[in-house]
Chain A
């Protein structure tokens, strides 16, 4: 079946380090991927997205990499700050479910120490 999973449930880093959050997906038909950040007590906040015709996309301090060969997605955060501490979810849109369905991964908690 369709599934989006994460390798590490918790990632602890020092302030200033670069963080890499990984995500594996199983549906090779997925054509759109998105990362959300969810802080405690808040709703998911859009970070960055990427389509399957791209390998890399950069935003402000964040980069998403897509490796379709091994069905792997990663979120890189440069110079991680304490404010980046949150749970990060990847999600995919499997083409065969229409544009409206996002399938979420299990989430990774990022802890940033000062």
Chain B
């Protein structure tokens, strides 16, 4: 099973709202990732967690706040987003020390 699940599938939020994106995997992977993907562009890495610790932050604005409560779950907390933050947010996971990443279906976010 190489399934990564993400909720919600779609999210519309105003610039003053607070919302969270959720990601879950049960493959025993110890590395989890958040990517942002704009239309017709490749995924761009935002954050990497390794063994539940933040290991990479690609200079992402603080209005995006990641959290890894346990080895199976990854959250992305959103606050005071801008319309340009509208995108597909992808979660991925991999075995520790292995490059192959498996992606979830994404959450399509629209910021009004």
Contact = CB atoms under 8 A, between A and B. Distances in A.
Contacts of A104: 42-44
Q: How large is the interface on A (under 10, 10 to 19, 20 to 34, 35 or more residues)?
A: 20 to 34
Contacts, number: 56
A85 to B, nearest CB: 15
A93 B48 CA distance: 14
Interface stretch (A44-52, A55-63, A67-75): A44-52
Given A100-B56, A104-B42, A105-B42, A43 B101 contact: no
Given A42-B106, A100-B48, A49 B100 contact: yes
A7 interface: no
Nearest to B97: A99
A44 B103 contact: yes
Contacts of A49: 99-100
Interface in B84-112: 90, 94, 97-106, 108
Nearest to B108: A41
27 contacts: A34-B99, A34-B100, A36-B103, A42-B105, A42-B106, A43-B4, A43-B6, A43-B90, A43-B106, A44-B43, A44-B90, A44-B103, A46-B2, A46-B101, A49-B99, A91-B42, A99-B99, A100-B31, A100-B33, A100-B50, A100-B56, A100-B94, A102-B99, A104-B43, A104-B44, A105-B42, A106-B41
Interface of B: 2, 4, 6, 31, 33, 40-45, 48, 50, 55-56, 90, 94, 97-106, 108
